[in-house]
Amino acid sequence: MYENLLAQPASNLLVQDIRTDKLPPSILFSGESASGKLTAALETARILSCLAGSAEWTCPCASCQKHRLLIHPDLLLAGPKDCLPEIRAASQAFLRNGQAASRFLFIRSVRKLVLRFDPAMYEGDETRYARSISSLGSIAEDLEDFELLTAGSAETAVVEKKVASIVNEAEKLETGTMYEAVPVSMIRKIASWSHLAPYGKKKIVIIERADRMQDSARNAFLKILEEPPRDVVFILTTSRRGAILPTILSRVRTYGFISRPMDVQQSVITRVFHDTPLENETLDQYFSRFLPVPPEKIRETAAGFVQLVLREAQTAGRIPPESIQSVLAGEQTGDRSETITDLVASLNKCKPDSIWRRFLVSVTAIFSRALREQTLSPRDSRIYAEWNSGLREALLVVDTYNLSPVAALEKLSVEMRNAL
Ligand SMILES: [Zn+2]
C-alpha cells in the first residue's frame, strides 16, 4: 500500500486506519503542492476497492488494474488543476527513455486530466460539455493508438507525433473547458452519482483544491457530508486548509502532508521523470519548467512590477525606501511594461493560476531581500509591513473571490503607493 508515495508519513496513518477499518467516509489531505496528495488519494481509491484484500501496488485483481489505469467506473475526480506541466514532463520522460514505466506515467498523467470531464459531472451543462467532447474523443483515440504503437515496434517519429498530438489536445481541453472552481451544479451531480450503488466495493470522490469551492457549492457539499451516502468515500485535497469552511472541517479527518526533504524531491525528478534536477530544485520548481511562462521571466516581471509602482509613486512625489531601490538595481527586469494590463498579458494573463502564485512569491522575495539590505528606519519597516499585507490580500482576492489579476494588481499598486 502507498508504495509509490515516497517519504510521506501520512501514508503510515492511512495504512493503519484502513487496516483497522477506522477510515472515516470523508477525509482531507492537506499540504503544499507537489507533496503527493493526489497520488495518495488515487492510491486510497485503489486500496479501498481492491477485491483481493492485500492491495499491494502490483495486485492483479480486476479492480486494481482499472484503478492503476485510472479507468475505474467507481472513481470521480473533480477540482481545478493545471495538469499540463506533469503531462509535458511525463511525455518528455517517455520520449527520452521509452521505458514501460515512463509510458505508464504519461498515460496516467493524461487520464488525471481527462477524469475531470466525466459525463456524470457534466450532464446538463451542455455548452461546456459539448466543448470538451471533441478533445476527449481525440485524446481517447490517440491514447489507444499510442498504446498500440508503443506495444509494437513503431518508428520513433510516428510515436513522437502521436505524443505531440495528445499533449496538444490535452492543452486545448484544459485551457478551454476546465472550471476555475467546482460549481454547485457539479456538486449536485456528484451527490446523485454517489447515491447509485457501486460497480465494485466502494465509490470514491476526490475533490482537489477543495478550498476553492464557492459558497453555494460548499453548502451543497456540506449537505452530502451531513448525510453521507453508503459505500462512498470523499477525499478532499487542499494546500490552504485555513480557507475551508469550519463546518466542513469538523466533518472530515485531516491527514497532514509534509513538504518532503530535498533529496527525496530530487530523486522523484531523477527516478520517476528521468531528468536531471538543478541544484536545490524542488519538485514544484521542476514542474514550473513546463509552464507557458518560464520561471526566470516570472521573476523578471515581478521586478518590473515593483519598478512600475515606484516610478508612478515618484512621479506623484512619494519617496520609496532606499533599500528597495538598491535591490531592484541588481534585478533583471526584461521588457519594461508600461501598464499593469501589459504586464499581466506578458505573463500569459497569469494562466494557469500557478503563474499568478509564482509571480506574487517573486514579489515577496524582492521585499525580503530589501528587508535584509540595511538597517531599516521605522518608516521603512511600516512600509514593508503594509506592502506584504497588500500582497497577501492580492492572493486572497484572486483565489477566493475570482477577482482578475489585473484588478488585484491595480489595487495593490495603489496600496503600495499610499503606504509611501
Ligand atoms: Zn486488488
Q: What is the dihedral of CA 331, 336, 340, 346, to 10 degrees?
A: -90
Ligand 1 centroid to residue 154 C-alpha, Å:
32
The x, y and z cell numbers of residue 245, run together, are 469552511
User: Cis peptide before 119, with omega less than 30 degrees from 0?
Assistant: no
Cα 201 to middle of ligand 1, angstroms: 11
N-terminal to C-terminal alpha carbon distance within the chain: 56
Confidence category of residue 332, pLDDT binned at 50, 70, 90: confident
Q: 356 CA distance to ligand 1 centroid (A)? A: 41
Alpha-carbon gap, residue 118 to 128, rounded angstroms: 12
CATH 3.20.20.370 is held by the domain 10-288: no
66 alpha carbon to ligand 1 midpoint, in Å?
A: 10
For residue 255, give the amino acid letter.
Answer: Y
pLDDT (tens digit per residue) in 244-279: 999 999 999 999 999 999 999 999 999 999 999 999
- Give the amino acid at 18: I
CA 70 to centroid of ligand 1, rounded, Å:
14
CB distance 59 to 52 below 8 Å: yes
Measured distance CA(68)–CA(51) in Å, rounded:
14
Q: Is the pLDDT of residue 124 over 80?
A: no
Residues 283-301: tens digit of each pLDDT: 998 998 999 898 889 999 9
CA of 269 to the centre of ligand 1 (A): 28
Exposed, middle or buried, 94 (CB in 10 Å: 0-12/13-18/19+)?
buried
Query: How far is the centre of ligand 1, averaged over its atoms, from the C-alpha of 18 (Å)?
Result: 14
Under a CB-based contact definition with an 8 Å cutoff, are residues 314 and 417 in contact? no
What predicted TM-score, i.e. pTM, was given to this entire model?
0.86
Task: Give the number of other Cβ atoms within 10 Å of residue 138's Cβ.
Answer: 17
pLDDT, residue 169, reads 95
How confident is the model over 346-399, as pLDDT tens digits?
A: 999 988 888 998 899 999 999 998 888 777 888 888 999 999 999 999 988 887
Cα-to-centroid distance, 16 and ligand 1 (Å): 18
Distance (Å) from CA 73 to ligand 1 centroid: 15
Q: What is the 3-state secondary structure (H, E, C) of 133-202?
A: HHHHHHHHHHHHHHHHHHHCCCCHHHHHHHHHHHHHHHHHHHHHHCCCCCCHHHHHHHHHHHCCCCCCCC
Distance 48 CA to ligand 1 centre (A): 9
Give CA–CA dist 360/363, Å, rounded.
5
Do the bridges between strand 75-78 and strand 203-207 make them parallel or antiparallel, or are there none, so unpaired? parallel
Tell me which residues have their CB within 5 A of the ion that is ligand 1.
Answer: 50, 52, 59, 61, 64
> How far is it, in rounded angstroms, from Cα 31 to Cα 27?
13
Q: Where are the domains of the chain?
A: 10-288, 295-418
83-104 confidence digits (pLDDT tens): 999 999 999 999 999 999 999 9
Q: Are 85 and 288 in contact (CB under 8 A)?
A: yes
Q: How far is the CA of 205 from the centre of ligand 1 (A)?
A: 19
Residue 253 three-state SS = strand
- B/e letters for 292-309, b = 16+ CB within 10 Å, e = fewer, are bbeeebbbbbbbbbbbbb
